[in-house]
Amino acid sequence: MIIVHDTFVCKPGNASKLAKLFKEVMADSKELLHIVTDMTGQYNRVILVSQYTDLTDYEESWKRMEKDAEKMKKMSEKMAGYTDMYLTGSREIYRVW
């Protein structure tokens, strides 16, 4: 099993807005476990925590999403302007032992 952390460092005042947007847009994602915001450490972070059986499953999830043109269109419309809410981001993939 693998766990993926997609981390967004938001502009001040935007972390909760971005977290709410992700929660709305990704409500039907079976892989998404949590959307978390910081309480300590670096400020203004939103982290999406997802789980997959392996890297192949992770790659397949992207392919499934890309295949569904209508879903991608709706997601793009809802996510319009989201890049204005954050400064930088990163992705970490962990193996669960």
Which tens digit of pLDDT belongs to each residue from 51-65?
A: 999 999 999 998 888
At 69 the pLDDT is 79
Q: Could you tell me the CATH number of the domain that includes residue 52?
A: 3.30.70.100
pLDDT of 79: 87
Query: What are the CA-CA distances from residue 35 to residues 32, 63, 67, 69 (Å)?
Result: 8, 22, 25, 25
Q: Residue 89: which domain range?
A: 2-95
Overall number of domains in the chain: 1
Amino acid present at 85: M
Predicted TM-score (pTM) of the model is 0.89
What is the overall mean pLDDT for the chain?
A: 93
Please tell me the predicted confidence (pLDDT) of residue 42: 86
